[in-house]
Amino acid sequence: MKTSQDKLKSQKSDTTDVSKPWNKDNQAWWDWYIGLADNKNTENKIIKAKPLPNVTIPSDDEVVSELANTYPLKNDQIIFFRKNGFIKLKKVFTPGTVLKLRAEMINLLKKSFNVDPDEGANDRFLSLEMVWLKNTLLRSYVLSPRLGQISANLLGVSKIRLYHDNILAKQSGCGRTPWHYDDHHFPLDTNDVVTAWIPAQPTPVEMGPLSFAYPLDVHKLVNDVKFEKNGAGYDKGVAEVFSKNGVAINETPFDLGEVSFHHNLNFHTASRNNTNRSRIALANTYYKDGAKVINSPTMVSGDWQKFMPGVKPGDIAASPLNPICWPVDDN
C-alpha cells in the first residue's frame, strides 16, 4: 500500500526532502513542527481565562474505576466519525477526573521544563511523551478501557494497540498549529489509526482548540500540495485549497470532560492560544492490531523508534510498549 510517507519521501528538492530520519528528541520535533505554521494574520491580544471550576477531585482508585467503564457510543456517532474523520464526545470523563489529570500533567511539565506552564506568556509548545511508562496515574488514562473501547468501535476493529501518548501544552501566546493530517506522522501501513485528544480544562475558541476539516475525504484535495520542511508554505497551501473549495471546518469550544477522536487522514489545525492559561491536553494514539511499520519512515515521523523499540521497518508494530488497549485482558 502506497502511503503518504512514500509521497513525502519522493519529494527531493532542498525544501521538501524529508527522507532522512529525525535525529533529535521529541521536544525538538515539536519546536520544528510548530514553526511551520502561518502566523502572519494572527491576533496578538491576550484575554483572561475564566477560573477553573471548583469540583470534587476523585482518588486514584476512583479514576481507575471510572475509566474501566465503557462509554455508551451510539451508532449515529460511529457513522458521523467514519464520514467526517472526527467526532467530539461529551462527558467522556467527569470534571474532577479531568482536573486531576491537569494537575498531574502540570507537575510533570514543571519537573521536565522547570517552568509553570500557566505562568506568563511564554509562547512555546511543550511536549512530553511516553509518560504512561513511569507515572501510574497517567497510565490509568492512557491505557483506559473506556478510550480503548471508543477507539476500537469508531474504527470498527476488534483489537487496538497504543502507539504513544503525548502531554501537549500550548502556552499562553503560542501561535497556530499548522494544517496537517497524522498519516504523515505515524509510520504505519494502516489507516485504522485514531487519536483521542483530551483537553484538560474548559477550552474556548480563544484558547485554540483543535479544529477539524470535513468530510474525511477532503484530504484528497491537497494531495498535490508539497510538504515543506522549512517555512509555512505547506500550511498556507492547504489553507488556500480549503478556502477555494469551501471546505467545512469545525472550530468549536470543548466542555470539561469532552474528548475528540480524529482519524489519521483527518486534516486538523489549532489557532493561537489567546488566553493567559496554557491549553493542556493529553493525546493518545491507537491503531489496529496487526499493522506493520512502513518500509521507509521519514523525519516527519519524529522519534518513532522510541515508541516501538526493537521494531524495524516492515515488522509488525507490536513492541512491549504497544500494549493491546481493547479488548481488556481479564487474566
Cβ atoms of 34 and 175 within 8 Å: the answer is yes
What pLDDT digit, counting tens, does each position of 304-322 carry?
Answer: 999 999 999 999 999 999 9
3-class SS of residue 152: helix
Q: For the beta carbon of residue 46, count every other beta carbon within 10 angstroms.
A: 15
Q: What pLDDT is stored for residue 2 in this prediction?
A: 46
- Spell out the alpha helix ranges (H) of 35-89: 60-68, 75-84
Beta-bridge mates of residue 314: none
* Predicted model pTM: 0.94
Question: Taking residues 124-140, what's their average pLDDT?
Answer: 96
What pLDDT digit, counting tens, does each position of 62-81 carry?
Answer: 999 999 999 999 999 999 99
Comparing C-alpha atoms, which of 94, 74, 169 is closest to residue 131?
169
Q: What pLDDT is stored for residue 17 in this prediction?
A: 79
Domains of the chain and any CATH numbers: 4-326 (2.60.120.620)
Measured between alpha carbons, how far is 87 from 142 in angstroms, rounded to an integer? 19
Tell me the pLDDT band of 330, cut-offs 50, 70 and 90. low
Measured between alpha carbons, how far is 189 from 179 in angstroms, rounded to an integer? 22
C-alpha cell at 41: 494574520
Comparing C-alpha atoms, which of 317, 331, 327, 282 is closest to residue 150?
327
6 pLDDT more than 70: no
Measured between alpha carbons, how far is 81 from 316 in angstroms, rounded to an integer? 27
Q: What pLDDT is stored for residue 20 in this prediction?
A: 84
C-alpha cell at 76: 449515529
Tell me the pLDDT band of 206, cut-offs 50, 70 and 90. very high
List strand residue ranges (DSSP E) for the chain, in order: 86-89, 125-129, 160-170, 177-180, 193-199, 210-214, 248-250, 259-263, 268-270, 279-288, 324-326
Question: Taking residues 176-201, what's their average pLDDT?
Answer: 96
140 pLDDT more than 70: yes
Q: How many CA atoms lie within 13 A of 194 on its CB side?
A: 33
13 pLDDT more than 90: no
Measured between alpha carbons, how far is 282 from 284 in angstroms, rounded to an integer? 7
List the Cα angle 40/44/46 in 5-degree steps: 155
Share of the chain above pLDDT 90, in %: 82
